[in-house]
Chains A and B, each alone.
Chain A
């Protein structure tokens, strides 16, 4: 059975626990620091056409990365560190590329995390 008192009696274990907690805490801070705008876009049916969205959003000054998900009709834009995203500008750029934004929200996730989330929920190819 786990006994917390045993950890307290061992300086080495205390040191290890401190290192683990510190590392975990650091990772969590990094993970939650990322902020992305996530748009649900109507009309996005092919990659050749949707590249306009990617190029236009990539050219915005606060953009760090862009993710396009054709299956879920999602476009995500991750902000550069220390910069905030202009949702109105993102909506404008997607509209100017010829598509309709039906939902636009800010999420505390990076583009890589959104990409991984999308990949995890992807159905097997038929």
Chain B
């Protein structure tokens, strides 16, 4: 069991946290588009909107509220974000991406007064076909005297292929962990629905908390 836990922690850390950028393809839309994202559970609420002036860059704003598993510690972060598509490999039946996501903004908490400037650089990678999806993200959340580094990994499959206009259902499992707030590993099996207009994840994690993610491109 100890080995299993160590392995799981290593995997989570290695792939690191994609939950925030749960995008099937990436944390930004196409050139000239605005994209909004949300990730909501009792311990984690995040909203984010960005605009892509180019096919590889996006700038945005986001807000994140976090709570420790024991509900004693809270954090609230507002951030300006920058997203960069570092590398994309388009295969005949697949796509792989490497992303940089950075953020900076004030963070406040219930265990200190005022606010601190938090820096949140991160990296994310994903690989997908019409039937398979895997991704991983690592993101540092650092401020003076604060370290809430975050890691997540996701993997799943679609039940069947669909036409462009149809909604495609997927089964996705996510594992994630945030240092200093959630020492346990959160595991969330989710039903994912992808349509050309929207993207939604619905799940319940291993501590029986509901979870909703969504994305929408304008």
Contact = CB atoms under 8 A, between A and B. Distances in A.
Interface in B166-216: 166, 168, 194-199, 215
A73 B130 CA distance: 11
Interface stretch (B6-14, B62-70, B85-93, B99-107): B85-93
A45 to B, nearest CB: 5
A47 B164 contact: yes
B30 A126 contact: no
Interface residues of A, number: 29
B162 interface: yes
Contacts of A43: 88-91, 94-95
A68 B128 contact: no
B130 A48 contact: no
Interface string A90-126: 0000001111101000000000000000000010011
B55 interface: yes
Interface residues of B, number: 37
A48 B166 CA distance: 11
B196 A97 contact: no
Given A52-B30, A126-B160, A96 B55 contact: yes
Given A70-B162, A71-B163, A126-B160, A48 B31 contact: no
Interface string B17-30: 00000001110011
A23 interface: no
A49 interface: yes
B58 to A, nearest CB: 12
Interface string A50-63: 11111110000000
A103 to B, nearest CB: 11
Chain A interface, DSSP helix/strand/loop, else mixed: mixed
A70 B163 contact: yes
Contact of B24 (A44, A46, A69, A100): A46
Contacts of B197: 48, 51
Given A48-B215, A70-B162, A100 B30 contact: no
A46 B55 contact: no
Contacts of A52: 29-31, 33, 217
Nearest to B170: A46
Interface in A11-25: none
Nearest to B132: A45
Interface in A77-96: 96
Interface of A: 42-56, 68-71, 73, 96-100, 102, 122, 125-126
30 contacts: A42-B90, A45-B129, A45-B130, A47-B162, A47-B164, A47-B165, A47-B166, A47-B194, A47-B195, A47-B196, A48-B24, A48-B25, A48-B195, A48-B215, A48-B217, A49-B24, A49-B26, A50-B164, A51-B217, A55-B30, A56-B31, A68-B164, A69-B164, A70-B163, A70-B164, A71-B130, A97-B55, A98-B55, A98-B88, A102-B92
